[in-house]
Amino acid sequence: MITASEIQSVKQRFGIIGNSPLLNHAIQVAMQASPTEMTVLITGESGSGKESFSKIIHSLSVRKHGKFIAINCGAIPEGTIDSELFGHEKGSFTGAHEARKGYFEVTDGGSIFLDEIGEMPLGTQARLLRVLENGEFIKVGSSKVQKTNVRVIAATNVNLIKAVEKGKFREDLYYRLNTVPIFVPPLRERGEDIVLLFRKFTTDFSEKYKVKPVSLDEDAKTLLMKFPFPGNIRQLKNLAEQISLLEQEREIDANTLGRYLPTGQTRLPAAYTGGGSGKDSSTDFSERDILYKVLFDMKKDMHELKKLVLESYQSGGLNSSIINKHQNLFEDLDSPVSFEETNSNVPSVNMPLVIDSQKNENNMDDYEDESIEDIIHEEDDNSLSLERKEKEMIIRALKKHNNKRKYAASDLGISERTLYRKIKQYDIE
């Protein structure tokens, strides 16, 4: 069992700042996977710090004395990536003036980190699958099979399941890579870690350039934690360095900080209940969830009010026992409500709500059974309206951003993982 002190030790060793439960869980999984030879797939948004987890896994493994190479698959042209990874023979293509070793040959006995694995061409994916399955590869322009003993750690900021469905990523390779999944949370889901990281970046700047570090007042800290940071840690670091360089006053208030934040991207504080599964769960909240809670509370009060009216109708009058049963509906009135018990079992003239029981008795036939049933079952008719609105909002956001889910999720104020789950839930094409 990995203890909290061991996790803290790893943070200090690799310069990881923060105490978010999601972050701690990701570090714990990395530590558990390190002593094994299992392939690891790290998922998370761009700039969330996925490469740090690959270093943790390599440094705590039995391969720690072997070589470690980090490769960005999206930065290598499709025509040369096979040569970069697996090497080539002399004369195998134009410009191949001599034989070259690839990364899988160079890192034999070590670890290789394949960042942005979702950008890897399909042909290269087939070659990679052979390495993972059999430890074999063939250089470009060669027919000789070579062996290598390399541990692969992959990372991506795209949904590989969707890429598999679209035919852009091999399904067999996905399941081979995803032996141990690690989710690195985006910065906006890490709560007060944002303030800790800002302080770290401003302190680093002050030490480097011999200036007094800037600090944030309480309002500025609140504003900083409301910002969604689509660029994650990279964006926060740039912000901290800009403010440290340009501001003369070293005490930063909310107005000053607001000038450096892009407009239209602040968000409501996200509710958080703890946990650390790294999965879509009760920890995945947004301002829309808060709005929904308010709406559901309103619907609950309305339902109680309907029950009060219905019970009053059925009893022939709004007597005090019914009112006392639903006293919670009147708690927020400006003046206190008092009800007098009468022999006729109807409210007195001082009551704020009056129903003429005599009129009720004379006109009972004017009410139809359907209207009462409508009152009782109207809640069922409205229960799906929020889901329909949510679906409409998602479709509009996707159309607005040409089906680019990353930007649609940012516009909606939710994480990409939540958007993917909602798209699947509502069967949105």
Question: Would residue 138 count as lying in a domain?
Answer: yes
Question: Would residue 27 count as lying in a domain?
Answer: yes
Question: Would residue 282 count as lying in a domain?
Answer: no
Cβ-contact 406, 416 below 8 angstroms: yes
CA distance 352 to 95: 91
CA distance 302 to 7: 49
pLDDT of 232 reads 94
CA distance 110 to 94: 31
DSSP per-residue codes, 93-143: STT--S-B--HHHHTTTSEEEEETGGGS-HHHHHHHHHHHHHSEEE-BT--
CA distances 171 to 45, 115, 167, 241, 333, Å, are 21, 18, 9, 42, 60
Claim to verify: residue 203 and residue 322 sit in the same structural domain: no
Last residue of a domain, one of 187, 205, 233: 187
Mean pLDDT, rounded, for 36-61 = 94
Of the ranges 126-140, 261-275, 301-315, 409-423, the best mean pLDDT one: 126-140
Last residue of a domain, one of 187, 211, 230: 187
Question: Would residue 235 count as lying in a domain?
Answer: yes
pLDDT of residue 40 exceeding 50, the answer is yes
pLDDT of 334 reads 47
pLDDT of 361 reads 44
Least confident of 193-202, 296-305, 314-323, 403-412: 314-323
Report the chain's mean pLDDT, rounded to a whole number.
80
CATH number at residue 26: 3.40.50.300
Mean pLDDT, rounded, for 216-245 = 94
Question: Would residue 328 count as lying in a domain?
Answer: yes
Last residue of a domain, one of 187, 209, 224: 187
Question: Would residue 338 count as lying in a domain?
Answer: yes
Note down the domain range covering 118. 4-187
Q: What is the number of structural domains in the chain?
A: 4
pLDDT digit string (tens) for 64-106? 999 999 999 999 998 899 999 999 998 888 888 888 999 999 9
CATH number at residue 406: 1.10.10
Angle at 140 between CA 134 and CA 142, to 5 degrees: 80
Question: Would residue 342 count as lying in a domain?
Answer: yes
Claim to verify: residue 231 and residue 93 sit in the same structural domain: no
Mean pLDDT, rounded, for 206-230 = 94
Phi/psi zone of residue 116: left (φ > 0), alpha (ψ -120 to 50 degrees), beta?
left
CA distance 407 to 230: 9
Claim to verify: residue 73 and residue 110 sit in the same structural domain: yes
pLDDT of 94 reads 80
Claim to verify: residue 202 and residue 168 sit in the same structural domain: no
Mean pLDDT, rounded, for 392-413 = 85
Claim to verify: residue 85 and residue 96 sit in the same structural domain: yes
* More confidently predicted of 319 and 261: 261
pLDDT digit string (tens) for 245-279? 999 999 999 999 999 998 755 444 443 334 443 44
- pLDDT cut 90: percent of the chain above it: 55
pLDDT of 69 reads 95
- Confidence class for position 310, pLDDT limits 50, 70, 90: low
Claim to verify: residue 371 and residue 389 sit in the same structural domain: no
pLDDT of residue 384 exceeding 50, the answer is yes
Claim to verify: residue 71 and residue 163 sit in the same structural domain: yes
pLDDT of residue 118 exceeding 90, the answer is yes
Mean pLDDT, rounded, for 135-159 = 94
Question: Would residue 234 count as lying in a domain?
Answer: yes
Its pTM surpasses 0.85: no
Mean pLDDT, rounded, for 145-160 = 95
pLDDT of 260 reads 93
Claim to verify: residue 198 and residue 299 sit in the same structural domain: no
Claim to verify: residue 218 and residue 97 sit in the same structural domain: no
- Confidence class for position 302, pLDDT limits 50, 70, 90: confident
pLDDT of residue 226 exceeding 90, the answer is yes
Mean pLDDT, rounded, for 369-394 = 60
CATH number at residue 201: 1.10.8.60
Using the 8-state DSSP alphabet, how is residue 330 labeled?
G
Tokens found for residue 101: 């070793």
Claim to verify: residue 365 and residue 411 sit in the same structural domain: no
> Of 42, 68, 65, 66, nearest to 55 (Cα)?
68
Claim to verify: residue 41 and residue 176 sit in the same structural domain: yes
pLDDT of residue 360 exceeding 50, the answer is no
Claim to verify: residue 238 and residue 322 sit in the same structural domain: no
pLDDT digit string (tens) for 276-292? 434 443 334 445 556 66
